[in-house]
Chains A and B, each alone.
Chain A
């Protein structure tokens, strides 16, 4: 049973999806989806427990064929933490999803919506688990398709345009990744990641490998929404229906980042990626520009969802910057922030969705004074917002601390200064929202909105409390990230 865990991890959600689609009753399928999501959390926890401490990675051979002939599923510490991220935050959002959807969708449609949600979750799990380059692409297709659907179901017609734009960008990204994988296969004759890593170094001067790397970088940057390839993200996040944004913001871009780390460090190899192809010199300036420009744009937004979406672009910049720094602290910061940001941004979007559930608008003007009518939700929002800024004793502080240390290790003082400036900008845009929520008078028509139902409030507060918890106890986040980073860098 224990050795089957990796397969079960994927199958739970992937098989619940078709079953869900056959249930015509929205409530039933929600119940099934929620139970299954929480069961996946348990399995992710068990997997993390198994690989904890490093050195005892799990390898599972699909179909019983040993790699490189068959497809291998690999779980190491990095995989396990990303699995935990996807399942835990997915399950929390799923729990809150029913209330959120009940106002905008009929029952039968709801089952299909849960099906898409489960498929998206399953495919992200699949991407994370696999040790096979082509398999990444297969699950990437599922996740992309499911995401387009999730976004396009927004109440607004503009959601369709946003989804279509994402579809074009996402397809280009996926095709580029496929070309990159095809080139690698052409050089080595294998698709298994570990096998590729062994065989690629002898081709390091091949133009095919250079082109493969270029295609991969651009393709995955589109998927992560790295500046300046982020144009699909703000619209997609703004028009996606309510709680879905929370899930997408938490998981989709993070898993893409995970894929990038896997490929750049494990498959192409550190030496090739950073010394020969100079990925660092590309990532660092672009990330910095992304952080500053996106934070600045966020400050001037009047729509709360769009503001948070731009903040996501900025925060993704932190993560890619950490990768670009290429030292222990920088990479630790990336991986820690991947987890922490997923948690905080999912919480923020969820709290926002809870408010929108009551006031039916995400304009800042309609959210005015909501701190008095919905004190608990706003409280959670504030805690999470403070975490995002990076105030000490919150999770955000930990990752920023490592990032700045990483920059200083390199002796790049200006980078550290820019990071602090960007944190100040975060204070401005988060502060602006909190200010509106607490200190502006509520508009007439929203003066008597009630507090949100429990099924939405509790997940919001779990996110908020986790933010505080991971600000104090960093064994799971930074501790693990440190070991993983040392491993990735040492593998060169």
Chain B
């Protein structure tokens, strides 16, 4: 199905439909991740791929228009050859790969056993994914938060949110599409029903990342997508009243700094960067609080970045 979806996306002329199919594609891949037992990844893919990025694409479409222009036939032979070569190399490599799911594959032999057996004692959280992500490889995760932040700076610099008048200061746009959504009773009622529980759910995902799938990235995206929903139904202006863009622009930086502050604190306490064990007298408590705070930092950064990007895209389209 994934392959079929990709072909449909490539063939489609109407961008709107293509975007919808992309959302479908993300949902399918998140199912695959689910089957592969990578629950956390599936979670993220569903929230980011099927949820947030679809909305970004739609917002971008509102700026550029719905259909793509017909273009002259370009040379397709060379790219096709490159793609086929790449695929061939990938398939060539699969012949020597260990069978899927075999226990004696090298990835299950070397580093992973310690993660599985000792992370409970060394780090604490029952969700081992969280231990690896936030503690063993916390530096990578710090980098990933940096990636999100960099993307935000890029969007801000190129599209320029906050430098224009925000929605509050402008007169209401006449006949804007978002405004008319308010009249649709069914949409409004369903949204009203959804918004509060999903907000609470995002907080649950945020704080419960230690025990079940979830954490800052997922929670941030879920939180942001509620705001998207709210903005789509009630219009961008009330949403901006809720989160003034000018102030919101500080939050991605604050989240990243919060993450780093934990690392700096552990350096000040005599440990290495992001060594949470030294934060508290009992290393377990240290790890626990450290992970909670950095997850919060990630959550703030991700949510704020998402909402910011959404605002700056929709400001452009108004």
Contact with A along B266-291 (1 / 0, CB 8 A): 01000111111110000000000000
Q: Which of B92, B154, B250 contacts A148 (CB 8 A)?
A: B154
- Answer whether residue A186 sits at the interface, using C-beta atoms and an 8 A cutoff: yes
Bitwise interface map of B from 205 to 233 toward A, beta carbon under 8 Å scored 1, else 0: 00000000000000000000000000000
B96 close to chain A: CB less than 8 A = yes
Tell whether A61 is near chain B: CB-to-CB under 8 Å. Answer: yes
Partner of B158, one of A65, A69, A122, A149: A149
Question: B273 to A11, Cβ gap below 8 A?
Answer: yes
Across-interface contacts of A206 in B (CB, < 8 A): 96
Q: Is there a chain B Cβ closer than 8 Å to A19's Cβ?
A: yes
Chain B residues with Cβ under 8 A from A112's Cβ?
A: 153, 156-157
* Interface residues as binary, B153-164 with A (CB distance below 8 Å gives 1, 0 otherwise): 110111010110
Output the nearest chain B residue to A148 by Cβ-Cβ distance: B154
User: B264 near A215 (CB under 8 angstroms)?
Assistant: no
Give the distance in Å from the alpha carbon of A132 to the alpha carbon of B143 in the complex: 13
Pairwise interchain contact A63-B267, C-beta atoms closer than 8 A: no
In Å, the complex CA distance between A7 and B139 comes to: 10
Contact present for A21 and B253 (CB under 8 Å): yes
Q: Are B275 and A63 interface neighbours, CB within 8 A? A: yes
Pairwise interchain contact B93-A208, C-beta atoms closer than 8 A: yes
**How far is B99's CA from A188's CA once the two chains are assembled, in angstroms?**
15
Counting CB contacts under 8 A, is B95 at the interface?
yes
Interface string of A5-29 (1 = CB under 8 A from B): 0010001001101110110000000
CA gap between A186 and B112 in the complex, in Å: 12
Contact residues, A25-74 vs B (CB, 8 A): 60-65, 68-71
Is B109 part of the contact surface with A, judged by Cβ < 8 Å? yes
Query: Are A64 and B271 neighbours in the complex by a CB distance under 8 Å?
Result: yes
Across-interface contacts of A199 in B (CB, < 8 A): 110
Check B93 against A142 for contact (C-beta < 8 Å): no
Contact call B158/A138, Cβ cutoff below 8 A: no
Select from chain B the residue with minimum beta-carbon distance to A138: B143
**Do residues B257 and A19 form an inter-chain contact, with CB atoms below 8 A?**
yes
Also in contact, A69 and B115, with CB within 8 A (given A18-B149, A186-B107, A211-B89): yes
Contacts known (A18-B257, A61-B272, A208-B97); A119 close to B146, Cβ less than 8 A: yes
Q: What is the chain B residue whose CB lies nearest that of A3?
A: B272
- The interface-forming segment of B6-14, B30-38, B64-72, B130-138 is B130-138
Q: How far is the CB of A203 from chain B (nearest CB, A)?
A: 9
Indicate whether A138 sits within 8 Å of B272 (C-beta atoms), given known contacts A71-B137, A188-B106: no
Chain B residues near A152: list those with CB within 8 A.
Answer: 154, 158
Is the beta-carbon distance between A142 and B139 smaller than 8 angstroms? no
Contact between A62 and B274, CB atoms less than 8 A apart: yes
Contacting residue for B147 out of A138, A207, A210, CB 8 A: A138
Q: How far is the CA of A186 from the CA of B108 in the complex (A)?
A: 9
The answer to whether A11 and B260 touch across the interface, beta carbons within 8 angstroms, is yes
Are A15 and B96 in contact, CB atoms less than 8 angstroms apart?
A: no
Q: Please tell me which one of the listed residues A14, A21, A22, A186 contacts residue B97 in the complex, with CB atoms under 8 A apart.
A: A186
* Interface 1/0 per residue, B137-178 and A, CB below 8 Å: 111100110110111011011101011000000000000000
Q: Which residues of chain A are near B158, meaning CB under 8 Å?
A: 149, 152-153
Q: Let me know if A123 is at the binding interface, CB within 8 A.
A: yes
Query: In the complex, are the beta carbons of B107 and A189 less than 8 A apart?
Result: yes
Interface 1/0 per residue, A105-118 and B, CB below 8 Å: 01011001101100
Contacting residues, chain B, for A61 (C-beta < 8 A):
272
Interchain CB contact under 8 A, A64 and B106: no
Q: For the complex, is A324 an interface residue (Cβ under 8 Å from B)?
A: no
- Residues in A with CB closer than 8 Å to B140 are 71, 132, 134-135, 138
A residues 139-198 touching B (CB-CB < 8 Å): 139, 141-142, 145-146, 148-149, 152-153, 179, 183, 185-191
User: Which chain B residues border A208 with CB–CB below 8 Å?
Assistant: 93, 96-97
How far is it, in angstroms, between the C-alpha of A447 and the C-alpha of B41 when the chains are bound?
A: 63
Query: A189, B109: Cβ atoms under 8 Å?
Result: yes
A24 nearest CB across to chain B (Å): 10
Q: Give the distance to chain B from A77, nearest Cβ to Cβ, in Å.
A: 23
Question: Which of A64, A119, A214 makes the CB contact (< 8 A) with B89?
Answer: A214
Chain B interface mostly: helix
* Known A-B contacts A70-B136, A183-B93, A186-B107; A15 and B257 likewise in contact (beta carbons under 8 Å): yes
- Judged by a CB distance under 8 angstroms, whether A126 is at the interface is yes
Residue B252 at the chain A interface, CB threshold 8 Å? yes
Given A63-B139, A145-B147, does the pair A109, B114 have CB atoms closer than 8 Å? no
Assess the B110–A189 pair: CB atoms within 8 A. yes
Evaluate contact between B98 and A186: CB separation under 8 angstroms. yes
Whether A146 lies near B150 (C-beta < 8 A) is yes
A65 & B106 in contact (Cβ 8 Å cutoff): no
Q: A64 and B143: CB pair below 8 A?
A: no
* Neighbouring A residues of B157 by C-beta, 8 Å: 109, 112-113, 116, 149, 153
Check B309 for interface membership: any CB of A closer than 8 A: no
Residue in contact with A63 in the complex, picked from B110, B138, B163, B257, CB distance below 8 Å: B138
- In the assembled complex, the CB of B248 is this many whole angstroms from the nearest CB of chain A, namely 12
Is the Cβ of A68 less than 8 Å from the Cβ of B111? Answer: yes
A148–B155 alpha-carbon span in the complex (Å): 11
Would you call B267 and A7 a contact (CB within 8 A)?
yes
Q: List residues of chain A with CB within 8 A of the CB of B138.
A: 62-63
The answer, yes or no, to whether A4 is at the interface (CB within 8 Å) is yes
B90 at the interface (CB under 8 A from A): yes
Are B136 and A211 in touch, CB under 8 angstroms?
no
Beta-carbon contact of B272 and A64 below 8 Å: yes
User: Contact at A7–B273, with CB atoms within 8 Å?
Assistant: yes
Tell me if A71 and B139 are in contact (CB < 8 A): yes
Complex contacts, A63 vs chain B, CB 8 Å: 135-139, 272-276
A191-B149 Cα distance, complex, nearest whole Å: 25
B interface footprint on A200-217 (CB within 8 Å = 1, 0 otherwise)? 000000111011101100
The reply to whether A64 and B275 contact each other, CB–CB distance below 8 Å, is yes
Question: In the complex the two chains form, is B96's CB within 8 Å of A207's CB?
Answer: yes
Q: Does B129 contact A (CB under 8 A)?
A: no
Q: In the assembled complex, which residues on chain A have CB atoms less than 8 Å from the CB atom of B250?
A: 22
Question: With A and B bound together, what is the CA distance between A4 and B138 in angstroms?
Answer: 17
Ranked nearest first, the 10 interchain pairs of A and B with the lowest CB-CB distance are: A64-B275, A189-B110, A18-B253, A211-B93, A138-B143, A149-B154, A62-B139, A207-B96, A7-B273, A189-B106
Residues on B lying within 8 angstroms of A by beta carbon are 89-90, 92-93, 95-98, 105-112, 114-115, 135-140, 143-144, 146-147, 149-151, 153-154, 156-158, 160, 162-163, 250, 252-254, 256-257, 260, 263-264, 267, 271-278
A-B residue pairs in contact (CB < 8 Å), sample of 11: A17-B149, A60-B272, A63-B136, A64-B275, A65-B135, A116-B153, A135-B139, A183-B93, A186-B98, A212-B93, A214-B89
